[in-house]
Amino acid sequence: MYWVRVGAYTLASLLALSLLMVGTVAVIAEVKGTWHWAIHLESTISYMGILMGGLLALLVPLLLVSLTARVVYDV
């Protein structure tokens, strides 16, 4: 059960860091206001969307297993 929790926390941390990175690029693109940074923002959102989809596909089952074990086995 320990490794399930570690995996879930690691994936949640990666998800939070990727959201932070998208936000940072968005702020830079807004401040700079050039087409160059708009292209960076568009590609960053595209790649982060793929990454976040994969992370969520792994994270949701891990959280369900963790919550189920906590309720059933009182871990």
C-alpha 65/C-alpha 3 separation (Å) is 11
Which residues are CB-contacts of 14 (< 8 A; sequence separation ≥ 6)? 55
Q: Which residue has the higher pLDDT, 18 or 74?
A: 18
At residue 75 the predicted structure's pLDDT band, cuts being 50, 70 and 90, is: low
Q: Any idea where the domains of the chain sit in the sequence? A: 1-73
Task: At 69, list the tokens.
Answer: 């074990």
64 to each of 2, 28, 33, 40, how far by Cα in Å? 14, 37, 42, 35
pLDDT digits (tens, 9 = 90+) for 32-47: 888 888 888 888 888 8
The confidence score (pLDDT) of residue 1 equals 78
pLDDT digits (tens, 9 = 90+) for 3-34: 888 888 999 999 999 889 888 888 888 888 88
Nearest to 39 by CA among 28, 50, 49: 28
Task: At 25, list the tokens.
Answer: 């690029």
